[in-house]
Structure 1
Amino acid sequence: MGEDMDKEQFLRNIQEEDNNSLRTGAANRILQLLQRQRYNNNEDSVKRWIWELCQNAKDVCNDSGKVKIRIDLDESNKRVIFRHNGRAFSLANVMSLINQSSSKDRDDETERTSGKFGTGFLTTHLLSEIVNISVI
């Protein structure tokens, strides 16, 4: 009985270390991407964030197959507010952003998504290190 408990604990420890390793790797990839964006900042990358947000909105269009986008500049609070009427991020989308993988099915020929690697949203950090996401 004691030996079985040791095996179970050992397997839990392996799973925990594996999860920690995956999270650390994802965090390091995100930091590298953000640093690359900041230090390779050129005229095109300054504009890239808006293109990426529009592309993300297009990829989650609503049931009509279309998406409406609205961008507001709140100068008094120094904020850019980007809105669209597409679907909200799913849990899979959020986890893909965190893990730097794509939640988009590449085998589905009917799916017309633009993004591939789940990195486009990170370009919003060219504007600010803090990005708030909300569902209205």
Structure 2
Amino acid sequence: MKSFCFHLKNSASGFVIFRMYFFITTLTMNATLILVILRLAILHLAILSLSLLRLVILGLVIPRLAILHLAILCMAILHLAILRVSLIRLGILGLAILSLVILRLEILHLAILSLAILSLAILCLLVTWPLPHPQCLNSTSS
């Protein structure tokens, strides 16, 4: 059995099989990471629980998460491309660098979106906060 595994590892077809195994395990790790990001996003939206606003946020966040997942997948392709020495590597490297830029932009956009939601919540709180009666203001100032 050991000699068969050694032969498989050193042969051309064995090399392809080991590469495929590595590729599948990398994709599995990325899928797990994508599920974690999705769960965190759903949890974040559930915490907000603002009925009408939540639908708008869902419409904004879900396409961004899709781009984020694409960027993570391209980073996995970069990880695989580092191991290969070929001309295709340069093209994949360019895609992965572009995906890293997209990833950073998407994280920045999600952060700006969260700040906008927070400021909107504070504004709603300030608008609905009960103000003191004008007579109470006059009595404290004099």
Same fold (TM over 0.5): no
TM-score bin (small chain)? 0.3 to 0.5
Structure in which a larger fraction of residues adopt strand: 1
Taking structure 2 as the reference length, the TM-score comes to: 0.33
TM-score relative to the length of structure 1: 0.34
Larger helix fraction of residues: 2
